[in-house]
Amino acid sequence: MALLGRALSEILWYLFSGAWFSDLREINRFFRSGGADVIFFYKAGMDEQWLGSIAAACDGRLKTAVVVNPRTALLHQTKSPSLYHLSQFALYWLPCRAFVSTATLSLFNVPRAAEHVICVPHSLVSFHAAYSPNAFDHYTLIFSAGPHHTQETAAMDAAARRQPRPTLPVGYTKMDTLIKQYAQVSGAGREGNHKQVLVAPSWGEDNVLGRIGIELVAGLLEQDFEVVLRPHPMQMGTAVLRRLTNTFIRQPQFRLENPAAGQTSLLTADLLISDYSGVALEYAFLRLRPVLFIDVLPKVNNPNWHLFGLSPAELAVRQRLGKVFAPEALADILSGAAELSDAAAQYSAAISAARDEYVYNYGFATQTAVAQLARLLEQAS
């Protein structure tokens, strides 16, 4: 009933908001420009972090268009003639040969004429536990970020008794952008004399902020850390976050970072505290610094994940990237934070080895994705 109500709400919004008229105008502009061979679809503005580098690298090589949901704001306010603001209802009618997204799709999100519907993963976490069972069903091809995505796609296809979908070893495109950004800030230093701790957990029924958020931040501030709280986008506006912010907002060494406004703290923090979030893998693999993991219950949206016989990457790799503490052991967590913030040299080799194991084409995912897109279009022509 909830899904039906949400669908009805979307249809009513579409009819009465005038979005259909805007769609007609944008579709006309799309056809007058000659259309596109490749469409990149940003369901949310943050999708630009994973797809933007590929779209930019395709410019001049492949005929592309970027379609953005009109109710989302881009991180970078691009004004390109190949950028179209279209509702999800209009996507079905757009002709293209390859449709690329990072979102969970429905049947009517996918252009009916697309020869390839390509998934670019928007996290390094595993497919089969943190996502709903049908999250990737409408994709025909996966640009795997690492070998675990390749294995999980094969297992999901076998479980669904469908034809195995091709997976291509592309890599994690967001990491390419992070590498460039880190190169720009790593030599500049950071203002202030305090060690910086980034608290960036995931969301779910059992989560770090709801469980020990106030006690954790208070303890870190007492240890003279600068604390940056970067909640998951799904926690923005929640009562838990409001309570945390109201408690510490006047503390000069506390800062709230909106995840939709960038990722500065990921590039500058001396330590990350997380749980099962994909941000932990991004931080560790980019910075080669350890992560302090708090062992709350895993975020599981597929209750049958264990039937695949594959341990989720975000669980399997934690011990190699840092230390894991029970949420009840606050004193141990705080002493662990002091220890790990100075322990980069002890962990860098192990983290680098894990990165080689879990990430394809580190630093070259974008150019690999563009090459694969070009190859796919050549094969189809």
The pLDDT of residue 381: 57
Q: Which residues have a Cβ under 8 Å from the Cβ of 210 and sit 6 or more positions away?
A: 240
The pLDDT of residue 2: 57
The pLDDT of residue 370: 97
The count of other CB atoms within 10 Å of the CB of residue 291 is 27
Architecture (CATH level 2) of domain 8-172+362-380: 3-Layer(aba) Sandwich (3.40)
Where are the chain's structural domains? 8-172+362-380, 179-358
Type of residue found at 320: R
The pLDDT of residue 241: 85
Q: Which residues have a Cβ under 8 Å from the Cβ of 181 and sit 6 or more positions away?
A: 263, 267
Pairwise CA distance, residues 160 & 313, whole Å: 21
The count of other CB atoms within 10 Å of the CB of residue 234 is 13
Q: Would you say 248 and 221 are in contact if contact means Cβ atoms under 8 Å apart?
A: yes
Long-range contacts: 252-257, Cβ < 8 Å, 24+?
Answer: 253/194, 253/221, 253/224, 253/225, 253/226, 253/227, 254/217, 254/221, 254/226, 254/227, 254/229, 255/226, 255/227, 255/228, 255/229, 256/228, 256/229, 256/230, 256/231, 257/228, 257/229, 257/230
Phi, psi of 255 (to 5 degrees): -145, 135
The pLDDT of residue 240: 83
Q: Which residue has the tokens 């009618």?
A: 93
The pLDDT of residue 79: 54
The pLDDT of residue 298: 86
Q: In the CATH hierarchy, which top-level class contains the domain 179-358?
A: alpha beta
Nearest by Cα to 252 from 230, 226, 270: 226
Nearest by Cα to 55 from 84, 19, 23, 92: 84
The pLDDT of residue 191: 65
Collapsing DSSP to helix, strand or coil, 335 comes out as: helix
The distance from CA 132 to its chain's CA centroid, rounded to whole angstroms, is 15
Structure tokens at 79: 């004004």
Pairwise CA distance, residues 47 & 42, whole Å: 5
Q: Give CA torsion, residues 122, 210, 285, 136, to 10 deg.
A: -20
Check for a shared fold between 8-172+362-380 and 179-358. Answer: yes
The pLDDT of residue 347: 96
Pairwise CA distance, residues 226 & 199, whole Å: 11
Report strand pairing: 167-169 vs 98-101.
unpaired
Low-confidence ranges of the chain (pLDDT < 70): 1-7, 71-81, 187-192, 380-381
Q: Tell whether pTM > 0.85.
A: yes
H/E element, 337: helix 330-340
